[in-house]
Amino acid sequence: GSTAHPKGVLSTHRAVIHALLGWEAAGALAAAVADQPAPELPWQLSMILTVPLFHVTGLNVHFLSSFRQGRKLVGMYKWDPEEALKIIERERITHFNGVPTMAWELVQSPNYERYDLSSLVSMGGGGAAMAPEHSRQINRRSVSPGTGYGMTETNGLGTAVGGPELLDRPTSCGRPLPPVVDIKVVDHAGREVPRGDTGEIWICGPMNFSGYWNRPEDTANTLVEGWVRTGDIGHMDAGDFVYITDREKDLVIRGGENIGCQEVEAVIYEHPAVLECAVFGVPDERLGEAVAAAVTRKPGASLAPEAVRTHVAAHLARFKVPEHVWVRDEQLPRIASGKIFKRGLRAEAIEALSR
């Protein structure tokens, strides 16, 4: 897991089928509301398998949904952006879905223009926040950006948004997917809060898991009267769009101030020399926690830690500026699903600061 030790998630056949049917129903309803059929493509609908099959995105979103819909699925041995570009051109891939860093690596590739990617209709991902700059860069490539929100405990089903709606609301992860997903935002007592107020996001629907394998206490803490407590902090607006502020366990609490890592990351990504970044908290004797950032610069780019701090200071409050910045040329470490391994980066940072 990205925030804790992995837990076995138990799901029924019924729950998985409801997730698959949920995506189909949401797509059909969206087409009906738009009152126009999906455009005819000269290529077979297709997707790259970018994440492992033991991950809910790989198994449900990629494999099982492709199997049900008759969509071509092209596997990769391991993630490599250059190889992915070759596959998109060779196999005429129409839809790309992974974690947001994968889509970002594609559009940032210096070789992007060398390939014929005219078959590509949409590009995006879930499992982590998509920075607004990511969506804008994808759109500049004449590809529709998309993102969504779900988790293993909901079999991947949750919210989705793409195209103009995402560009208009670049920090949103979308609306609950009709007709099976219900979402509410609650306070610490489990009471639903008014629209616009921040709280923990809870998800309900027939696609939810049954419990954790041999973890009854964790199950009781996560499943509450059919609702999954996600541990994610955010809010819903008047139009039902969900906005995730941060992971409940991933907030940096600096001198009593709650700082959302995703907000700081979104600003860092807007720096033209930044390829990828991760923001996290490290222990601080005076403040409790301090903001830290690990940044990978683009090939050939010049970027110093102080330049990152200056850039963030120009856009955010002073207390949100990272006190510690590490700039590197290597890719940030990943967990098996392709997400950036923040816990590992935090451990590295703590060790470096202790020297």
Average pLDDT over every residue of 10-22:
96
**Number of Cβ atoms within 10 Å of the Cβ of 192:** 12
Q: What angle do CA 30, 31, 35 make, to 5 degrees?
A: 115
Task: Please give the Cα distance from 286 to 268 (Å, whole number).
Answer: 25
Could you tell me the pLDDT band of residue 4, with boundaries at 50, 70 and 90?
very low
Task: Assign domain 9-148 to a CATH class.
Answer: alpha beta
Mean pLDDT in residue range 84-105: 93
Comparison of pLDDT for 311 and 52, the residue scoring more: 311
Q: For the chain, give the number of residues.
A: 355
> pLDDT tens, 164-201?
999 999 999 999 998 899 999 999 899 999 999 999 99
Percent of the chain whose pLDDT exceeds 90? 72
Per the CB < 8 A criterion, the answer to whether 82 and 60 are in contact is: no
**Which phi and psi angles does 13 have, rounded to 5°?**
-60, -40
Q: How confident is the model at residue 260 (pLDDT cuts 50, 70, 90)?
A: confident
Confidence class of residue 247 from pLDDT cuts 50, 70 and 90?
low
Mean pLDDT of the chain: 91
**Which tops the pLDDT comparison, 246 or 136?**
136
Burial class of residue 354 in the structure, from the number of CB atoms within 10 Å of its CB (0-12 exposed, 13-18 middle, 19+ buried): exposed
Higher pLDDT, 280 or 133: 280
Residue 184, strand partner residues: 202
What is the percentage of the chain residues whose pLDDT exceeds 70?
95
Annotated domain spans of the chain: 9-148, 252-354
Residue 96, pLDDT above cutoff 50: yes
Q: Do 9-148 and 252-354 come out as alike in CATH topology?
A: no
Burial class (CB in 10 A: 0-12, 13-18, 19+), 47: buried
DSSP 78-137: S--HHHHHHHHHHHT--EEEE-HHHHHHHHH-TTGGGS--TT--EEEE-SSPPPHHHHHH
Task: Look at 111-120, 234-243, 244-253, 278-287 and tell me which has the smallest mean pLDDT.
Answer: 244-253
Residue 5 scores a pLDDT above 60: no
Out of 3.30.160.270, 2.40.50.140, 3.10.105.10, 3.30.300.30, the CATH code matching 252-354 is: 3.30.300.30
Beta bridge partners of 148: 160
Q: Cα–Cα distance between 213 and 229 in angstroms, integer?
A: 17
On the question of pLDDT at 37 being above 70, the answer is no
pLDDT higher at 231 or 129: 231
Weakest mean pLDDT among 96-100, 167-171, 299-303: 96-100
294 neighbors 345 (Cβ within 8 angstroms): yes
Tokens linked to 226: 């059919």
167 token code pair: 């560009």
Q: How far apart are CA 202 and CA 266, in angstroms?
A: 24
Burial class (CB within 10 angstroms; exposed 0-12, middle 13-18, buried 19+) of 231:
middle
